[in-house]
Structure formats: C-alpha cells, structure tokens
Amino acid sequence: MQLVITMFLTQTVPRQREIIEVVLRNGWDYMRRLLTGGKTDEPQLPTPAVLKNILVDLGPVYVKLGQLLSTRPDLLNAAYIEELSTLQDEVPPVPWSEVEIILRKQLKRPLEETFSIINHIPVAAGSIAQTHRATLADGREVALKVQRPGIDLTIAQDIALIQGIADLVARTEFGHNYDIKAIAEEFTKALEAELDFTREAGFTDQLRRNLSHSRWFDPTQLVVAEIYWHLTTEKLMVMEWLEGVPLLSAKLSSENGKNPATERKAITTLLFRVFFQQLYIDGFFHADPHPGNLFYLIDGRIALLDCGMVGRLDPRTQQILTEMLLAIIDLDAQRCAQLTLQLSDSAQPVILARLENDYDRMLRKYYNASLTDINFSQVFYEILQVARNNKIRLPSNMGLYAKTLANLEGVARTFNPEVNLFDEIKPLITDLFRRQLLGDNPVRSLLRTALDIKSLSLQSPRHIELLLDRVTSETLQWNLSLQGLDGMRRTMDDAANRLSFSILVGSLIMGAAIITTRATTTQLSFLSSVLFAAASLLGLWLIISILRSGRLR
C-alpha cells in the first residue's frame, strides 16, 4: 500500500510535484514519513491549522474541497470543522479584457446591443467566477456572474488527482470506514455543478418559487433574485441586481418609523421561518446562509444570495430530523440513538447500549441549562460526532443540514443577541407535527387512514387463517440464518486436528518405548529409532504451528 502511494505521488507530473512540495513545506508529518520510506499503516491528518494552510496553498479547487469537508462533521471532529469553515475564496480578479472575450462568446447578440452599461471593476471575485454590475439595454440593472477563463481545465486536472488519491486511500481501514471514494465522487459532482451556471440558475429559480408562498411568513418580505434565462449559459449567469448590504452590516434606525429592536426581532423570526420551511416542508434548502449571502435591502426586505450550494431532504428524513429536534429539546439520549440509526446508511453492526451511553454523556452537560441557552446546532454537531465515533455512516446531506443550522443560528445570535431560539422554533415544531399527523389536507388524510384500516381489517382474518392452517398441517417452515459461525468452526477444526496430532505423537513415543524395552533384534531397534524420529518431527511441527498461531496459553 505504502509503495503504491509513494509511486503515485512521485511521478514526474508538475502538479503532483507541486502538491508534494506544498505538503512537505507545511510539515505534514504523515506524508513526510510516507515519502521517506517510514512505516505508516493508516492515513493521519495534519493539525487543523496545517490542513487549512495546505488547502489554501494548493489553490481554489482545494479550498472548495476544504469548504465541502467543513460540511461533514460526521467525518471530522469539531476542531477541523471550525478551522475549515473559515476558508474563503481570495483570488485576484480576472482582467476585463479576458472577461469581455467570454461575454462575447456566450451572448447571442453583440455586447453593445445587450447592455447599455457594464462596470469593468468586479463587485466580487471568487475561485470559479467573478461578478460585475451592468444595465440592460431596456434599463434594468443586473448582475453578471462570469466564469474565470481556464478554470474548467484546472478543475478537471485536480479532480483526477483527488480521485486517484481517494482510490488509494480507499484500500485502508480509514478509507473503508468513511467511504473516501464516495466523498471524492460527491466533491466531483459538486464542482461540476458549480461549473454549470444553468444549474445554479435552476436552483435559484426553484428557491424563488418555493418561497413565493408560505403559511409561516410574509413572502413579500423575502427576495430571491430573478434569473434572466435568455442571457444565461453554462459560463454566464445574468440575474436581477439587488441593492443592499450584508445583514450583519445593516444600520437599523428609527428614521423610517420602525423600532430597531422590533425590526431585529422581526427579521430574526423571518429568517428562522424561511429556513425551517426549506428544511422541513420543501425539502430543498439554501445550504450556505453565511452572513455574506443574507442581504438587507434598501427597502427593508431580506434577500438570499448565491444559491449555488443547496441540499435536499426526502420526507422520511424530514420526519426523523423533526423528531430529532424534539429529542434534543427533551435531552432524550435513547431517542437520539434510535433516530441516528434510522438515519444511518451503514450496514455495519452497532452496539445500541454503547451509543445510548455516549449520547447520555454528551447530553448530560445540558441538563441544568435553560432551553434559551442551548445552542441547537452545536448539539446536532455533537450528535454527528458521537455517530462518527461509533462508526455510523450518515448520508452526506446531514453535514449540509448541520452547517445550515449552524450558520443560521450564528447569524441570528449575532444580529439579535436577545433572540430566544426555543420561542422561535416552538410554534414551528408544533405545526410540523400536526402536518405529519394530518398532512396539508386533514380530510384527505383521515379518509386515506380509514381506507387503510378497512383494508387491514378485511385482509387480517384471511392471513391469520392461512397461518393457522400451515401451523396445524405442519407445512410451516422456519428459515434461520446463523452468522459468525465460520470462525468458530475453523477454531474447532484446528483444535481437533492438534488434539489428533498430539494423540498420534504420544502413541508413537509410547510404542517406541515399548519396543525399545523388549528389542532383541537389530530390526526392532531400528524400528524404535524410526518411531522416535517420527514422533520428534511431528511434535516439533505441532509446537511450531501453535507458536505461529499466537495461542500458546
């Protein structure tokens, strides 16, 4: 294994040599030992700060990898999650001359006929794209998100390297336990999605439609940018320009007749209800609500920006997560363990008692805390950590869910330190349980339940009759599958073989001794010597086999 990795990393490919130089320069001891022939059985991560520096030095693709890993508390402990969450795309902007070439290639009409004004200085520059402000020929203000030239080739090369390393690490116990190949595949799909701006535009449109109506909040107070599809391509996205500032930079005053404290509370409530609808009703959510993606517009509305990272939750998962919130509120370790196993997609056996004990120890520190002081996202992170420690593999969207909750709660507490999270989510959880019991249409749900009960009542007597018939007629067969017996069978076979050899050796020695005492001819003396020699060889072989097995006790 070590030789294969060493050969892979020391190929004379410029990008691979660059990666090795960065790794060694930052002092990753595991890789240093690996490349110098030292013995290492399993991959060992560098410290969180060193890992972050390595990813930053390797460039934009690896920064994206770090950002993805920061959404996986089921894989990394809290120190790594906290460090990687600070990774930001900090790259110099592409010169306007290069941006203009891309724009002209992507637009069907001449640039001058499409836009009346384009600001050549970008308002934001990231690792994959940069954004310019512009005005359409009809006067509407828009934002142009333009892909950086050549980034697709760079990403393709780095993805190939990451997948190659993942294939190698997958052969280790670490790689098997955490399904490293699946993580690499997830990362590949995420990057490919970011390279296709039509996908992000589709996500933005879906969020805009989903949040255009709600029973929990006033949709007119929330804005998701409109997409101009006739100008949007894989490398160019044109959307409505939204004038405002990041939410945490907003200066609320009473000049517009609003009380700043009241407005802060209203905005906090709006954010919780917007994201709870996405998570628990729509099952499609904006997965990156950090402060830079939540804007306070000049008219007092709130805008969601940058919808490129989204998550999905199916109805079953939504129900489990709703119950998990209630279990956290009740500090119910047993229920947390049961719900974690329901979420798990791992076939490995789990010791339920140990899992419950771990959750009990984790939740015990919150027993004397007020519900208003409990950080729910932190508790959920700790739940994922306990699952990781018990080698329970959870779906990757659990990391996105946890990070979304953490970002949302962090923004809410910073924007409005007086927020009472329990008061915010209590009415929402109550409504969610009512919806799960009765659905959106209670009458239809009751009718469906009545029909199911009717069907069960009609079929049950027949099924019971068939079961009794088979029991009384002795035609009922039980198929039992006992697992874990192969090892026991091999152990018993080995023990029986050794016992047989021991008896055989003892018999040979006794026979040789008897012949020796009564030997009167040369032939009998020779036979006695042969028997002693055979007994010695068999005895020596038996001792060696026992010593090699390591079970001489």
Q: Which residue has the higher pLDDT, 311 or 192?
A: 311
DSSP H helical segments within 126-247, as ranges? 151-169, 173-177, 180-195, 197-210
CA distance 199 to 195: 9
The residues facing 294 across adjacent strands are: 304
Q: Given this model, what pLDDT does residue 198 score?
A: 96
User: What are the C-alpha distances in Å from 301 to residues 42, 227, 279, 295?
Assistant: 52, 19, 21, 8
DSSP H helical segments within 365-417, as ranges? 376-389, 397-415
How far is C-alpha 57 from the geometric centre of its chain's CA atoms? 24
Q: Rounded mean pLDDT of 374-380?
A: 83
Per-residue pLDDT of 407-446, as tens digits, reads 898 899 899 988 887 788 888 888 887 777 666 656 665 6
Choose among 405, 406, 407, 391: nearest CA to 75: 391
| Residue 227 phi, psi dihedral angles, 5° rounding | -95, 135
User: What are the C-alpha distances in Å from 227 to residues 145, 238, 239, 454, 489?
Assistant: 11, 6, 4, 49, 67
CA distance 5 to 497: 42
235, 284 Cβ separation under 8 angstroms: no
Give the contacts of 477 (CB within 8 A, at least 6 positions apart). Answer: none
Q: Rounded mean pLDDT of 183-197?
A: 83
pLDDT beyond 70 at 471: no
Query: What is the pLDDT of the chain when averaged over all its residues?
Result: 80
Q: Rounded mean pLDDT of 209-233?
A: 96
pLDDT beyond 60 at 36: no
Burial class (CB in 10 A: 0-12, 13-18, 19+), 363: buried
Per-residue pLDDT of 67-120, as tens digits, reads 777 777 767 777 888 888 777 766 789 999 999 999 999 999 999 999 999 999
Q: Rounded mean pLDDT of 28-42?
A: 52
Per-residue pLDDT of 475-493, as tens digits, reads 556 655 656 566 666 777 6
Helix axes 397-415, 376-389, angle to 10 degrees: 150
CA distance 191 to 65: 9
Choose among 175, 298, 283: nearest CA to 243: 298
Give the contacts of 149 (CB within 8 A, at least 6 positions apart). Answer: 94, 98, 101, 102
Tokens found for residue 101: 């070439």
pLDDT beyond 60 at 552: no
Q: Which residue has the higher pLDDT, 168 or 250?
A: 250
Give the contacts of 530 (CB within 8 A, at least 6 positions apart). Answer: none
Q: Given this model, what pLDDT does residue 8 score?
A: 44
Burial class (CB in 10 A: 0-12, 13-18, 19+), 26: buried
**Could you give the percent of the chain with pLDDT greater than 70?**
76
Q: DSSP character for 282?
A: I
Strands of 55-108 (E only): list them: none
Tokens found for residue 316: 């079953």
Query: What does the chain come to in residues?
Result: 553
Give residue for tokens 């990687």: 84
Q: Which residue has the higher pLDDT, 163 or 243?
A: 243
380, 430 Cβ separation under 8 angstroms: no
Confidence of residue 142 (pLDDT cuts 50, 70, 90): very high
Choose among 204, 213, 291: nearest CA to 246: 291
Confidence of residue 5 (pLDDT cuts 50, 70, 90): very low
CA distance 84 to 55: 9
Q: Which residue has the higher pLDDT, 65 or 497?
A: 65
Per-residue pLDDT of 241-257, as tens digits, reads 999 999 999 988 777 67
pLDDT beyond 60 at 42: no
Helix axes 260-277, 397-415, angle to 10 degrees: 170
The residues facing 131 across adjacent strands are: 124, 145
pLDDT beyond 50 at 7: no
254, 260 Cβ separation under 8 angstroms: yes
The residues facing 245 across adjacent strands are: 296
Burial class (CB in 10 A: 0-12, 13-18, 19+), 286: buried
Tokens found for residue 75: 């894989």
152, 162 Cβ separation under 8 angstroms: no
CA distance 283 to 435: 14
Half-sphere exposure of residue 142: CA atoms within 13 angstroms, side-chain side: 24
272, 425 Cβ separation under 8 angstroms: yes
